[in-house]
Chains A and B, each alone.
Chain A
Amino acid sequence: MKRLVFLDESVRLIFHAVLVGSIYLLFVGHNQPGGGFVAGLVAGAAMSLRYLVGGLAEVRRISRFQPWTIMALGVAISTSTALAPLSRGHSIMASMSTSFDLPLLGHIYASTTLPFDIGVYMVVVGLVFMVFEAFGEDPDAEADEVPEADEEGATR
């Protein structure tokens, strides 16, 4: 597959910026518009940029983990966070928070909403990987190897 230098370089520039943006959205989600789902979608958009550049192989280079491992880990984190307040006699998914001071970083406010959102984020990102795994195979590449796939390649 031919790669376009211009596209390649601009995606290299943008990719990490978009990821940082998605992590920003993940963290502000507690009190401002954002949160795990939106942040995951933005990260997914970054993944699709990589897909535009180099196809499925490029997407696979982003993570060493299988998509379902990421998703399952996300679900596990979110459900455990949701269950945690029950042990303290609160309702499920009740938000528990604490704040403390750290040197250099200053005042830190941490709540259980964050791990829940991280779990959601991982589910969405895992889903994006899974979509690319399922539908992202390059039909042209297949057409070179398998003669039957010619028709599909032509319609595309």
Chain B
Amino acid sequence: MNQLIPLPIVLPLLAAALASLFGRWKVVQRIISVAVLTATSAISILLLVRVDRDGPLVMHAGDWRAPIGITLVVDRLSAIMLTVASLMLLAVLVYAIGQPGAERHHVGFQPVYMILAAGVAGSFLTGDLFNLFVSFEMMLTASYVLLTLGGRKDQVRAGMTYVVISLLASTLFITALALLYSATGTVNMADLAAKIGQLPLGLRQAFAVLLVVVFGVKAALFPLFSWLPDSYPVAPGPVTAVFAGLLTKVGVYALIRSQTLLFPEGSRPVTLLLITAGLTMAFGIIGAIAQDDVKRILSFNIVSHIGYMVFGLALFSVGGLAAAIFYAVHHIIAMTTLFLVDGLIEHAGGSSRMRELGNMVRSAPVVALLFLVPALGLAGIPPFSGFVPKLGLIQSGFAAVGGQGHRALVIGVVAVSLVVSLLTLFSVIKIWIGVFWSPAFETPSGAAHTVGRLGGPPLMVIPTATLFVLGLTVALTAGPLYRLCERAASDLLNPHAYITTVLGR
């Protein structure tokens, strides 16, 4: 079983190589990419089942034991994230193949997409901070290319901002790593967890804050989110979907992992996390309400909802972390679906600006349905997938109020989160009315396609519908899933098993 651990990273890399070797034969490229992502999805599900039953698994590359070698670790959290991420990558890939013009004209799309997949998997699987950096870079470098794939002027402009900010964050990350290494002599996370207790309290707190800033840029926390709503909407549709679903959540994963594993209670920046969580929610949603473009509204919604996950993390309780993990799963699926639906809207309507769209509930009823359910889920309306984690967050919030410290702040963030939920509902209803109900006010800037009963090419609708069903499944199986997230959360708060598995004692 351990043999499976490196495959989600290495197989996509191999696929990237083969896809560029077979650049002339599009069909071969597609078969390779789809086959590899199907395989990684299957592998991650297997790993999830196995890890949930038997505890964390580890593989040391080249048999060099931790903390010297490259360590790959799977525990419940990374297996959950890896599974959801692989499924999203697969669905979006099929969608991109089905979308006219999206990838057909770019020989480089498939190889770069595969490198992105490898980077995402690497971020979830790595057991040391340096390889987390390497995986981030793999992912980001691929995302630079994907973001500017069309070579349009606005893409290059937004891409510049994105590249500069990401490079700045990476520089800060590698500096933080160097400092951490000079202070403790290791970058292996399990080893760090064992050794960081020897550092003075102030130093530990400083490192915790430094890592919050580093991962906060990737996760788009307030006030470091400004790059996101500018850059995401200009990318090609499927690319935006995969960015929206995965990239920020990789940042959230890194935040959760580093803050729970590395820093013992007392050195965690709880106040900072609570305040940023509340502000991220509030500022994100205020930005969303002000927009007229579907993609931009959704992009600001990404920012806003990152706040919920950080709030769950800041509680540092089993309930809070479980809700944060569940929220991440729900958010990845819902956001990817919504951005894929946006691609369908643009395909049918020729634009993503609400002023130029209208009446699509009649012209594309399937698209309307595919939009409405994940959108309501995003707002947290009861039967859908966003409700459970929100309820969990608020319950854990109130439980934390009963405990000691940060009482007023937690009540404040809970209040903000409730208001933001309502405003999220408002923002998605605004899309619903603007795109699906009201008539169009202006003629669309792009070319509208005539769509059949499905509302788009089958290869675009089917992956979207699959993710739609996946979102419903998450809502229907919320009970067992929430218990899985609770087990993952209690692993995070008692990392003993993780540390002993990695260090082999």
A joins B in a complex: yes
A residues at B contact (CB < 8 Å): 68-69, 71-76, 79-80, 82-83, 86, 89-95
Is B10 a contact of A76 with CB atoms below 8 Å? no
Is A76 a contact of B62 with CB atoms below 8 Å? no
Chain B interface, DSSP helix/strand/loop, else mixed = helix
Query: Taking the nearest CB of chain B, how far is it from the CB of A123, in angstroms?
Result: 9
Is B6 a contact of A86 with CB atoms below 8 Å? yes
Is A93 a contact of B62 with CB atoms below 8 Å? yes
Decide if B156 is an interface residue (CB 8 Å cutoff).
no
Is A75 a contact of B14 with CB atoms below 8 Å? yes
* Candidates B6, B20, B62; contact of A95 at CB < 8 Å: B62
Is A79 a contact of B20 with CB atoms below 8 Å? no
Is A91 a contact of B17 with CB atoms below 8 Å? no
Is B59 a contact of A76 with CB atoms below 8 Å? no
Which residue from chain B places its CB closest to the CB of A77 in the assembled complex? B17
- Determine the distance from Cα of A91 to Cα of B6 in the docked complex, in whole angstroms: 9
Residue total for B at the interface (Cβ-Cβ under 8 A): 22
- Determine the distance from Cα of A91 to Cα of B5 in the docked complex, in whole angstroms: 10
For B3, what are the chain A residues with a Cβ–Cβ distance below 8 Å?
86, 89
Residue pairs across A and B with Cβ atoms less than 8 A apart, 13 shown, are: A69-B21, A74-B17, A75-B13, A75-B17, A76-B21, A83-B7, A83-B14, A86-B3, A91-B62, A91-B63, A92-B6, A93-B61, A94-B61
- Most chain B Cβ neighbours within 10 Å, of A73, A83, A93, A95: A93
For B23, what are the chain A residues with a Cβ–Cβ distance below 8 Å?
68
Is A79 a contact of B14 with CB atoms below 8 Å? yes
Which residue from chain A places its CB closest to the CB of B58 in the assembled complex? A91
Say yes or no: A76-B61 contact (C-beta < 8 A), given A69-B21, A92-B6: no
Q: Mark B1-32, 1 if CB is under 8 A from A, else 0.
A: 01101110010011011101101000000000
Is B62 a contact of A72 with CB atoms below 8 Å? no
Decide if B463 is an interface residue (CB 8 Å cutoff).
no
Decide if B471 is an interface residue (CB 8 Å cutoff).
no
For A91, what are the chain B residues with a Cβ–Cβ distance below 8 Å?
2, 59-63
Query: Taking the nearest CB of chain B, how far is it from the CB of A141, in angstroms?
Result: 24
- Top 4 nearest A-B pairs (CB, nearest first) are A75-B17, A76-B17, A72-B20, A92-B6
Is A72 a contact of B63 with CB atoms below 8 Å? no
Is B60 a contact of A76 with CB atoms below 8 Å? no
- Determine the distance from Cα of A52 to Cα of B111 in the docked complex, in whole angstroms: 32
Is A82 a contact of B10 with CB atoms below 8 Å? yes
For B61, what are the chain A residues with a Cβ–Cβ distance below 8 Å?
91-94
Q: Mark B440-478, 1 if CB is under 8 A from A, else 0.
A: 000000000000000000000000000000000000000
- Determine the distance from Cα of A28 to Cα of B61 in the docked complex, in whole angstroms: 22
- Determine the distance from Cα of A130 to Cα of B60 in the docked complex, in whole angstroms: 33
Query: Taking the nearest CB of chain A, how far is it from the CB of B397, in angstroms?
Result: 42
For A71, what are the chain B residues with a Cβ–Cβ distance below 8 Å?
17, 20
Query: Taking the nearest CB of chain B, how far is it from the CB of A85, in angstroms?
Result: 8
Which residue from chain B places its CB closest to the CB of A69 in the assembled complex? B21
Q: Mark B67-84, 1 if CB is under 8 A from A, else 0.
A: 000101000000000000
Is B14 a contact of A72 with CB atoms below 8 Å? no
Is A72 a contact of B60 with CB atoms below 8 Å? no
Is B20 a contact of A68 with CB atoms below 8 Å? yes
Query: Taking the nearest CB of chain A, how far is it from the CB of B469, in angstroms?
Result: 33
* Candidates B2, B17, B18, B63; contact of A94 at CB < 8 Å: B63
Query: Taking the nearest CB of chain A, how far is it from the CB of B260, in angstroms?
Result: 27
For A86, what are the chain B residues with a Cβ–Cβ distance below 8 Å?
3, 6-7
Which residue from chain A places its CB closest to the CB of B2 in the assembled complex? A91
Is A92 a contact of B62 with CB atoms below 8 Å? yes
For B111, what are the chain A residues with a Cβ–Cβ distance below 8 Å?
72
* Candidates B5, B10, B17, B59; contact of A72 at CB < 8 Å: B17
* Candidates B17, B60, B63; contact of A79 at CB < 8 Å: B17
Which residue from chain A places its CB closest to the CB of B6 in the assembled complex? A92
For A94, what are the chain B residues with a Cβ–Cβ distance below 8 Å?
61-63
- Determine the distance from Cα of A95 to Cα of B63 in the docked complex, in whole angstroms: 9
Is B21 a contact of A72 with CB atoms below 8 Å? yes
Is A73 a contact of B6 with CB atoms below 8 Å? no
- Determine the distance from Cα of A86 to Cα of B9 in the docked complex, in whole angstroms: 14
Query: Taking the nearest CB of chain B, how far is it from the CB of A114, in angstroms?
Result: 14
Is B10 a contact of A92 with CB atoms below 8 Å? yes
- Determine the distance from Cα of A73 to Cα of B17 in the docked complex, in whole angstroms: 7
For B59, what are the chain A residues with a Cβ–Cβ distance below 8 Å?
91-92
- Determine the distance from Cα of A75 to Cα of B21 in the docked complex, in whole angstroms: 10
Which residue from chain A places its CB closest to the CB of B118 in the assembled complex? A79
- Determine the distance from Cα of A37 to Cα of B478 in the docked complex, in whole angstroms: 49
Q: Mark B408-420, 1 if CB is under 8 A from A, else 0.
A: 0000000000000
Query: Taking the nearest CB of chain A, how far is it from the CB of B268, in angstroms?
Result: 34
Which residue from chain B places its CB closest to the CB of A85 in the assembled complex? B62
